[in-house]
């Protein structure tokens, strides 16, 4: 399995497309015959109107549609995408439409994984409109966390410890959009010693803590993949450097560097992960901060590939968030 950043899958690209994401001016993207998440957010660091990130596999694939999920899989990895408009889920009692939609999406994801026999959820990308807005007496990100948590509980899955890497990012408008990678092998969740685990946050951050690990290692056949979740300027459980986007960049990279160190403690590929060996997607709250963010990150990420996107972060006082990943081959047995 490989990840390519392309304007569109290029002729002669290795293997078969498993799935991917389109970012930017999406009305210009061609239709895809494979699972495609559409990230409805402006690109800040590319000359193209849109950018494609594509997962490729060298193995035969099968694909299908199940309960609104477009999915494609090889023998041991599945990539899926589901979008659900919130108005498809009516508010009931204390449950908001977003909470109901979040719960339903994850219930459908877990149902598909059971059916396909790939029980281990590795990485999830969550995008929702107006993430810091408030309705039904609660911030929308906290509503999303409630719905996700309920689905994990009902599926009898861990809500702390053995949980996937993930991000939850705000866009201006559109449906709840979730893409995910899952596999036959268990993930190795990783936590940051500088931070309280997200799933163990105190109640001040909402009725239900977020359900994700700070990073995770997954092992599709012949490879080892490091997924670093959306990472921001948080130490312990508190935001640092409010109002200072450059300082938040520095703190975010410190946290990623800690996750790289944690990964290298348990990685089995024999090749250490490094900041320069990761690819990074950077979410920037204010487009006017794009130059400052890129100037701050360039020396810290040491020439690694970076894609900058304008989007909102899960806390209103966070100005930037970085997610990262890398794939290493496993040594031959």
- Mind telling me the catalytic residues? 321
**Residue 128 in contact with residue 140, Cβ under 8 Å?**
yes
Give the Cα separation of 120 and 30 in Å (integer). Answer: 31
Give the Cα separation of 255 and 228 in Å (integer). Answer: 10
Look at residues 211, 224, 165 and name the one whose alpha carbon lies nearest to residue 189.
Answer: 165
Torsion of Cα atoms, 45 then 49 then 55 then 56, to 10°: -120
Give the Cα separation of 245 and 296 in Å (integer). Answer: 9
Task: Count the alpha carbons within 13 Å of 319 in the hemisphere toward its beta carbon.
Answer: 19
Strand partners, 43: 309
Torsion of Cα atoms, 260 then 258 then 232 then 176, to 10°: 40
Rg (CA), the chain: 18
Give the Cα separation of 9 and 29 in Å (integer). Answer: 11
Q: Can you spell out the DSSP letters for 299-329?
A: HHHTT--EEEEE-B-SSTT--EEEEEEEEEE
**Residue 108 in contact with residue 69, Cβ under 8 Å?**
yes
The owner of tokens 């909470």 is 99
Give the Cα separation of 230 and 52 in Å (integer). Answer: 19
Strand, coil or helix: 96: coil
């Amino acid at each position: 399995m490989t990840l390519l950043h392309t304007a569109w899958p290029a002729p002669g690209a290795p293997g078969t497309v498993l799935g991917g994401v389109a970012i930017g001016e999406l009305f210009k993207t061609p239709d895809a015959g494979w699972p495609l998440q559409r990230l409805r957010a402006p690109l800040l660091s590319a000359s193209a109107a849109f950018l494609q990130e594509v997962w490729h596999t060298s193995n035969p694939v099968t694909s299908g549609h199940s309960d609104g999920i477009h999915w494609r899989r090889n023998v041991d990895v599945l990539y899926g995408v589901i979008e659900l408009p919130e108005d498809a889920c009516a508010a009931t009692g204390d449950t908001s439409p977003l909470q109901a939609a979040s719960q339903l999406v994850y219930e459908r994801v877990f149902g598909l994984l059971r059916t396909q026999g790939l029980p281990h959820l590795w990485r999830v990308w969550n995008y929702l409109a107006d993430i810091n807005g408030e309705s039904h007496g609660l911030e929308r990100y906290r509503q999303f966390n409630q719905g996700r948590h309920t689905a994990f509980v009902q599926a009898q899955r861990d809500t702390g410890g053995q949980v996937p890497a993930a991000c939850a990012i705000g866009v201006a408008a559109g449906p709840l959009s979730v893409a995910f990678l899952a596999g036959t092998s268990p993930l190795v969740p990783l936590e940051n010693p500088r931070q309280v685990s997200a799933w163990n946050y105190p109640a001040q951050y909402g009725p239900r803590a977020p359900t994700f690990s700070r990073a995770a290692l997954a092992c599709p056949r012949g490879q080892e993949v490091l997924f670093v979740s959306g990472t921001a300027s948080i130490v312990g459980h508190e935001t640092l450097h409010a109002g200072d986007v450059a300082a938040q960049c520095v703190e975010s990279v410190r946290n990623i560097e800690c996750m790289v160190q944690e990964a290298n403690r348990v990685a089995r590929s024999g090749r250490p992960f490094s900041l320069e060996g990761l690819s990074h997607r950077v979410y920037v709250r204010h487009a006017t901060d794009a130059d400052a963010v890129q100037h701050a990150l360039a020396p810290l990420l040491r020439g690694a590939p970076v894609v900058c996107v304008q989007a909102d972060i899960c806390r209103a006082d966070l100005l930037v968030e970085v997610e990262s990943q890398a794939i290493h081959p496993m040594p031959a047995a």
